[in-house]
Structure 1
């Protein structure tokens, strides 16, 4: 039978995951010659029908691999769907002239997509971010599962033994084990208890400075301190402006002038300096109110 004689009907809508698995298992498997012929059609002529046949004939492989990851508590259908994405990537990159069957080549891509999905969805917060952490995540869980161990705190000897078998540091094993043990925490409280809501994580994340009213008020204050203050000072005569600046707008490392110092400088009484200051401040307040 040649590759062109294969029949790969487009699957109809399926109502359950069991029906999907049954349909996947009904697609015929390819011989090595058929697989190479289809792969060359895809590579040389971008034949999408050839790609479709390669994908459909290996759906059972994805189902088989996805079944091994059911222990993470994620939907089987989602695991299969992510595995199918990996399968399609493998078909696109498959080179029939390298002497490797598609089934062997695709396993890596299928597992990679499933691993990525698990790490993103097993916990709301990722527990493994680097490549080495991801490898440890799956190896450690697989090892504990194979040994039939119930969840418990690792002893130093157990952690050392696992670290030696996986080729990592003991500290890394303890760190990953602690991430396994930690559960997700709801950002919001139950909603029934005011105290629970007050101490829920969402309350720690609130930034009062980001409230619209606070933002507007801050913007107005900054405007007054910058443009408004400059405009108010400009409305004063030279002597009044100098008195206000020497009394109230000195730098942090400078000392404000006293009424008597200014009185001696301008040749008037301290009371006269105070009156000029009060009048200048009143005028500035009026200018700032209109700003």
Structure 2
């Protein structure tokens, strides 16, 4: 597409120039080709938005500054968040700036929007990054977003270009003084920023089980179904069995107890069918039938309990 055809398309439907942000490379290429507005055009569109609430004018102002959001988003890639997400949040800040922009103040929209773009990206990072619980006060947020650049500046001033993962005591004291925080907070922030993230669940699909924290941090003993199952087993092993045995006649109860609930001194188990048959003067088959009937009756009693 030539520049002439691009300008013509921008006049008819400016948003048609912007592809979905899911294809990040195509999106960045497209927004960099969108024509910039002259100061006169910017002022005219801003007045149309302010005076007539012209949505099309607002769209022209937003589109011409999308490349600014892309540029700002690159400054925050070190926090491990997708650039596409950073751009989307920055675009929200840009739209807020366009809505509040007053062309009579004598400043260009690019200068006014910069604050709003960065503010939205900052909030997004603080809400989604692993350090959010540490960066709670205004001073800690300032430390969070300036630690890397301040560390590099201090190294440059000292002439030390070697890689060091930690700060020296003098560097810690300097940062704490400049940012109005405690030295301990600088050390804690540096430690956490230097640490790597560990995925809680297995990453990728390699066809093999991956040993991730979820495999050894989960406490299965407190899982609700496990707790209920354990309680059920405990009840069956004590009160449940006693309740079921109470439903039997004396002979059936003794047969069940002798066969399944008693252990001889030699650990060989309870009485055999033949031993019980001899004791009651019946056949072993009759004892087995009584045992089967007693077991069915006990199961029904347990199910009904």
| Alpha-carbon shift at residue 84 of structure 1 (Å) | 1.4
1:90·1:109 contact (CA, 8 Å) conserved in 2?
A: yes
User: Normalised by the size of structure 2, how large is the TM-score?
Assistant: 0.58
The residue that corresponds to 2:58 in the other structure is 51
Q: Which consecutive residues of structure 1, in runs of 5 or more, have no partner in the other structure?
A: 1-5, 222-288
The residue that corresponds to 2:87 in the other structure is 80
| Residues 1:172 and 2:185 aligned together | yes
Report how many residues are paired: 217
Alpha-carbon deviations, 1:195-231, whole Å to 9, x = none? Answer: x67xx46644536344135258879x9xxxxxxxxxx
From 202, 209, 221, the equivalent of 1:208 is 221
Q: Provide the alpha-carbon RMSD of the alignment.
A: 3.7
The residue that corresponds to 2:46 in the other structure is 39
Aligned equivalents of 1:136, 1:71: Cα separation in 2: 15
Q: 1:159 to 1:29 in 2, by over 3 A?
A: same
The residue that corresponds to 1:253 in the other structure is none
Aligned equivalents of 1:83, 1:48: Cα separation in 2: 19
Once the two structures are superposed, the pairs formed by residues 1-291 of structure 1 within 5 Å of their partners are 7=11, 9=14, 10-11=16-17, 13=19, 16-123=23-130, 126=132, 128-132=134-138, 133-146=140-153, 147=155, 150-188=163-201, 200=213, 203-206=216-219, 208-212=221-225, 214-215=227-228
User: Normalised by the size of structure 1, how large is the TM-score?
Assistant: 0.60
Aligned equivalents of 2:46, 2:18: Cα separation in 1: 25
1:209·1:215 contact (CA, 8 Å) conserved in 2?
A: no
Give secondary structure in 2 for the equivalent of 1:69.
helix
Alpha-carbon deviations, 1:162-212, whole Å to 9, x = none? Answer: 22233322122111112112222333579758xx67xx4664453634413
| Alpha-carbon shift at residue 36 of structure 1 (Å) | 2.9
The residue that corresponds to 2:284 in the other structure is none
| Alpha-carbon shift at residue 63 of structure 1 (Å) | 1.9
1:139·1:166 contact (CA, 8 Å) conserved in 2?
A: no
1:119·1:128 contact (CA, 8 Å) conserved in 2?
A: no
The residue that corresponds to 1:264 in the other structure is none
Give secondary structure in 2 for the equivalent of 1:187.
coil
| Alpha-carbon shift at residue 50 of structure 1 (Å) | 0.9
| Alpha-carbon shift at residue 62 of structure 1 (Å) | 1.2
Alpha-carbon deviations, 1:107-136, whole Å to 9, x = none? Answer: 11111222233344454x636441422221
Q: Which consecutive residues of structure 2, in runs of 5 or more, have no partner in the other structure?
A: 1-9, 235-302
Alpha-carbon deviations, 1:4-30, whole Å to 9, x = none? Answer: xx8363215379534333322332322
